[in-house]
Structure 1
Amino acid sequence: MNPSASGWINKFGHLVVHKSKAFESFEDLYLQLKNNGFVYGIHLEIANFIDVEHSLTEDEVAKINLLTALYFTHLFETGKKDFDTFVNTVFGYYQSLDVGKISFLNKILSGTHTASQLEKLIDSRIYLGGNAFSRAFGNSLTNSLLFVDILIFQHYLNNPGKTMQHAQLLEYATMNIVYKALSSKKTHETDEKLIQLLDASLTYVNLNENEFNGSYTELLRKNFTKYEKDYFLDMACLTIWEDKSLDRTETDYILGLGKDLEKSKKEVKSAVSFIQDFFEKNAPRVSYLNDKNLALQFYEGMSKSVSKLILRNSKRLKKELAESRELVALLSKSTVKDLDPEERKKVQKQLIDVFKSIPSLAIFMLPGGAVLLPIFIKLIPKLLPSAFDENRVEDS
């Protein structure tokens, strides 16, 4: 399954139809989504019953986990396995929240089938702002509050009439808990990054407006479900444990929050222990904890995205490159020495001709796309070695 190509939702449906017992219950699903980071807004792994052809980027992991969580939530709440029914229900759910409106142009480009439109809609949930060009090449963030969508969907399936109000309440409560958790600790640089990421992920509520009256305690005592309370506790644990320590003030806060959420001390300690183990295992893979400068992060993001595009179109690229001996010769030469200005101009012109023949590479023809050509040229010999065997020099 390739979540960056059209038709991936139907492919998921083909895979999941035989895996309806992949999770025993919503509680089991929640635990798995904590283990792979999705509950925490950290997109690391997917369910092991899904086969993928290539290594996945963060946004692709997020897409698959969002759809997986939505499908099994629908299954547990309704008992219905039919995938078409699920797709129509999810599409109606997001429409009720006025999320990801499908334009007339998008209908022409992606087809009028609900699954095709849902692919566009899920895409709109994954990324935080920015245009298609900046998103495609790493200059964006991945939504860190996606699990809220699952909790709202659970509510929608049981109470479809007040979906937006509940969505706003969940986001508002989540952010208030995170801010309250931060106030219990000394501010750290990565705390600020986490807050910026969560703020950018808000969809349904504007924190600058006074959406809800009443105190913080009154807010927590609203009629939240068990799993909504579990999520609040886990987000608080994520916030206070980010600096890998827990002082007296933080301990008092998290125990107090647990009491307000009607959780036992054992449940609170278990939640703290879980996030501790999660960080010890995955800290190097959590992007907002990365201290690399923005320029390096941007370059690495672009490199990963360009690599993905090359891999996704490797067969087509091999065919197109094989028909241009001069281009292959120049690209091969570029692996061992710098090209002169005239040669670089030839490579750029001929690559643009190649891009014209492969629709998914048309983004390189957008304004600014030429900036990415050096990355593309650097990666082609490594990802398509068969076309460069004659002159390729391996690194020692």
Structure 2
Amino acid sequence: MNPSASGWINKFGHLVDKETRIFSDFESLYQELKRNGFVYGVHLDIPSFIEVEHTLSEDEIAKINLLTALYFTFQFEQENPNFTHFVDTVFEYYQSLEVGRISFISKILSGSKTESQLEKLIDSRIYLGGNAFNRAFGNSLTNSLLYVDILIFRIYLQGKIPMMEHAQLLEYVTINIAYHALNAKETNEKDAKLIQLLASSLTYVNLDDAKFDGTYLDLLSQKFSKIEKDYFMDMACLTIWEDKSLDYTESDYIFGLGKDLGKTENEVQSELNFVKKFFENNKEKIAYLNDKNLAVQFYEGMSKNVSKLILRNSKRLKKELMESRELLALLSKSTVKDLSAEEKKKVQNQLLDIFKSIPSLAIFMLPGGAVLLPIFIKLIPKLLPSAFDDNRVEED
């Protein structure tokens, strides 16, 4: 399955239809989403029943986990769930929230099929702004409060309380808890980055209008579900995880919050241990924890995205390269020794001609796109056969 190509939602439906009930209840789904990083706003892994051919990028992992969470939430709340009904329901849900807007041109390109339009809509929920150029080079941030979408979707399916009002309430309490947890500790640059990510992900609450005066604690007496309280607790633990040992003020805050949420001290300590272990094991993979300078981050983001494009077009590239014997010989030579200036110019011109025939590699045609050619040459030995359409569903 390829979440960056059209048809991936249909492919997801085909895969999930083969499975028996993967999660026994909403709690087991929540724990899986925590292990994958989705609850914490970082996107590291996907459920094992999803088959992928290539290494997934952060935004692709986020898309798969968002759809997985929505699907199983729907399954828990509906009798005899049908995938077509699920797609229609999720599309209507996002439209009713007025947060997943599809541009006019996207509607034209995606056609009238609900699945195709939902793909565009989910894409709009994953990214925090950023134009197409920034996305192509891996410079857009992913929404770090995506799990709130799942909590609101449950409310939507149950239809018991006003959905938009509860959405605002969830975000308001979440950002307040993160803010006060941050103020309970000695902050550093990484903490500041985390709170900025959370603030930039707000959808239903205007940060300028939010009050950080402690009055949010009065709201905890309202009827939040257990899973919502678990989420609040995890967001507080996320904010103070880095210390590894709690000082007096942090301990007062986190265990006091746990008491307000109806948690025992053992339950709070268990959540702290989980989040500490998670981030200690994955700190190298989490973007906002990296201290790399902007140039290094840009190059790495660029390399990852170029690698993804090349590997996913490997079949067509191999065909084009095989038809250009001189180019193939020069590329092979470049892997073992430096090319002359004339040879490099030949390689550049012939590669650009090939990229013209493969639309998804259009970034090489942009001004300055030639600087990406060394990355391409480096990846030539790694080209592997792949299916033309990653999302094709074989008919029985």
What TM-score does the superposition give when structure 2 sets the normalisation length? 0.91
Task: Work out the number of aligned pairs and report it.
Answer: 385
Residue aligning to 1:136? 136
> In structure 1, what is the equivalent of residue 312 of structure 2?
312
Cα gap change, 1:372 to 1:262, in 2 (>3 Å)? same
Which protein, 1 or 2, shows the higher relative CO under an 8 Å CA cutoff with sep ≥ 6?
2
Letter in 2 for 1:278: F
Deviation for aligned residue 1:350: 2.2
Name structure 2 gaps, 5 residues minimum: 386-396
Provide closer, same or farther for how the CA distance between residues 355 and 165 of structure 1 changes in structure 2, counting only shifts above 3 A. Answer: farther
Aligned match of 1:373: 373
Letter in 2 for 1:110: S
**Equivalent position of 1:297 in the other structure:** 297
Question: How far, CA to CA, are the matches of 1:194 and 1:25 in structure 2?
Answer: 30
- Secondary structure of the structure 1 residue equivalent to 2:157: helix
Which SS does the other structure have where 2:162 is aligned? helix
* 8 Å contact from structure 2 (residues 306, 376) kept in 1: yes
- Aligned position for 2:269: 269
Give, in whole Å, the separation in 2 of the partners of 1:364 and 1:204. 38
For the 8 Å contact 2:101–2:124, the answer to whether it is kept is no
Residue 111 to residue 6, structure 1, CA distance change in 2 (3 Å):
same
Letter paired with 1:280: E
Task: State the SS of the aligned residue for 2:209.
Answer: coil
Query: Are the aligned partners of 1:97 and 1:164 in contact in 2 as well (CA < 8 Å)?
Result: yes
Name the residue aligned to 2:229: 229
Who is 2:43 aligned against?
43
**Aligned sequence identity (%):** 73
Distance 1:76 1:318, change over 3 A: same
| 1:201 corresponds to | 201
Distance of aligned partners of 1:112 and 1:216 in 2 relative to their CA distance in 1, 3 Å threshold: same
1:252 has 2:246 as partner: no
Distance between the aligned counterparts of 1:138 and 1:195, measured in 2? 21
After TM superposition, the score normalised by the length of structure 1 is: 0.91
After TM superposition, which residue ranges in structure 1, 4 or more long, deviate above 6 angstroms?
A: 211-214
Tell me how far apart the structure 2 counterparts of residues 230 and 259 of structure 1 sit (CA, whole Å): 12
Identify if the C-alpha distance between structure 1 residues 338 and 165 changes in structure 2 by more than 3 Å, giving closer, same or farther: farther
- Deviation at residue 325 of structure 1 after TM alignment: 2.1
Q: Describe the SS at the equivalent of 2:21.
A: coil
Q: Which amino acid in structure 2 is aligned with residue 192 of structure 1? A: A
Paired position in structure 2 for 1:388: none
Quick check: 1:96–1:163 contact (8 Å CA) kept in 2? no
How far is 1:285 from its partner?
Answer: 2.1
- Amino acid of the residue matched to residue 380 of structure 1? I
- Counterparts in 2 of 1:338-377, with a 5 A limit? 338-377=338-377
Amino acid at match of 2:293: N
Moved more, 296-305 or 286-295: 286-295
325-334 or 72-81: which moved more? 325-334
How far does the alpha carbon of each residue in 1:89-142 deviate from its partner, in whole angstroms, 9 at most, with x for none? 111111112223222321332332111111111111112211112112211222
Tell me the distance in 1 between the aligned counterparts of 2:287 and 2:354. 34
Checking the alignment, whether the CA contact within 8 Å between 2:179 and 2:212 is kept in structure 1 is no
Residue correspondence of structure 1 range 45-84 to structure 2 within 5 A: 45-84=45-84
User: Match for residue 241 of structure 2?
Assistant: 241
Q: 1:153-195, CA deviations, whole angstroms, 9 ceiling, x for partnerless residues?
A: 1111122873333222212211110000001000122101111
Which consecutive residues of structure 1, in runs of 5 or more, have no partner in the other structure?
A: 386-396
Q: Distance in 1 between matches of 2:324 and 2:305?
A: 25
Report SS of the residue matched to 2:72. Answer: helix
User: Residue 348 of structure 1: CA displacement?
Assistant: 2.9
The 8 Å contact of residues 181 and 250 in structure 1, kept in 2 or not, is answered as yes
- Aligned partner of 1:4 in structure 2 is 4
Q: Which residue of 2 is the match for residue 390 of structure 1?
A: none
Q: CA deviation at 1:35?
A: 1.3
Aligned 8 A contact 2:315 2:384 in 1: no
C-alpha separation in 2, matches of 1:321 and 1:373: 15
Q: CA deviation at 1:26?
A: 0.3
Question: Given that residues 70 and 150 in structure 1 are in contact (C-alpha distance below 8 angstroms), is that contact kept between their aligned partners in structure 2?
Answer: yes
Between the aligned partners of 1:203 and 1:261, the Cα distance in structure 2 is 24
Task: Tell me, yes or no, if the aligned pair for 1:96 and 1:164 is still in contact at 8 Å.
Answer: no
Change (3 A) 1:278 1:213: closer
CA distance in 2, matches of 1:83, 1:173: 33
Q: Compared with structure 1, are the counterparts of its residues 69 and 190 closer, same or farther at alpha carbon in structure 2 (3 Å cutoff)?
A: same
Note the aligned Cα RMSD (angstroms): 2.1
